[in-house]
Each structure stands twice: as structure tokens, then as C-alpha cells.
Amino acid sequence: NAGVTQTPKFRVLKTGQSMTLLCAQDMNHEYMYWYRQDPGMGLRLIHYSVGEGTTAKGEVPDGYNVSRLKKQNFLLGLESAAPSQTSVYFCASSYGGLRENTEAFFGQGTRLTVV
């Protein structure tokens, strides 16, 4: 039972470097999400996707890009990392939107530090 798998689990970047976080789910879910978790801020939605080939902006999209080329994968890219992007990133997926009374399943998180 893999569920939602995020890679890598930890990463340290220098300011200005780029990287891609990978999220993979094996539950055939239509919806996928990227959140960031910061102390005292809870989780904030970065981008999300309601199906293969679609993406949409969330609450804090600046500095990030995403792609959903395959239904099972949702990639989060940082083109030029900044210290303000130091955070724990969580990917989640759900079968449908919440009006369909479905549950969101979360990955274990990626701890990213930008120095």
C-alpha cells in the first residue's frame, strides 16, 4: 500500500538553485495538491490539479510551477530557490473534490532548506 509517495524526503538548496519535487499516487485519484507547512501558519495550498493535464493556483503560488503530465504524478518545481521557500512540503491526492465526500490522502512530506 504505497498511497502517496514524495521524493526526496530532505533537500538542502543554495539560493538561486532549482529543483523538482515529485509526488506519485497509486490510487487512481483525479485530484492532487501541493501544500507547504510553516510554523504557526498551518498548511497553505500552493497549486492543485483536478485531472491529468490541468493545474490551478492556490493560495501561495508565487515562485512555484507545477505539471501533471501523467495522472499518477504531480511535480512541483522551484526555478530559483529563495530562503523564504524553506518549508515542509506536502503532497495530497483525492478521488474527487470534497463535494463528492472524498478524503484527501497525504504524503510523508519533503523538508526543504534553502541557504
Partner 1 sequence: GNSVTQMEGPVTLSEEAFLTINCTYTATGYPSLFWYVQYPGEGLQLLLKATKADDKGSNKGFEATYRKETTSFHLEKGSVQVSDSAVYFCASGYSTLTFGKGTMLLVSP
Binding site for partner 1 (CB under 8 A): 4, 31, 33, 35, 40-45, 48, 50, 58-59, 90, 92, 97-99, 101, 103-104, 106-109
Q: Which is nearer to partner 1, 63 or 109 (CB)?
A: 109
Cβ of residue 96: shortest distance to partner 1, in angstroms? 8
Q: Which is nearer to partner 1, 13 or 90 (CB)?
A: 90
Taken as a whole, the chain contains a residue count of: 115
The candidate with the shortest Cα–Cα distance to 92, out of 46, 61, 52, 42, is: 46
Cβ of residue 38: shortest distance to partner 1, in angstroms? 10
Cβ of residue 78: shortest distance to partner 1, in angstroms? 20
**What is the rounded radius of gyration, in angstroms, for the C-alpha atoms of the chain?**
13
Q: Report the distance separating Cα 11 and Cα 90, nearest Å.
A: 14
What's at 15, amino acid-wise? T
112's grid cell: 526543504
Q: Which is nearer to partner 1, 14 or 99 (CB)?
A: 99
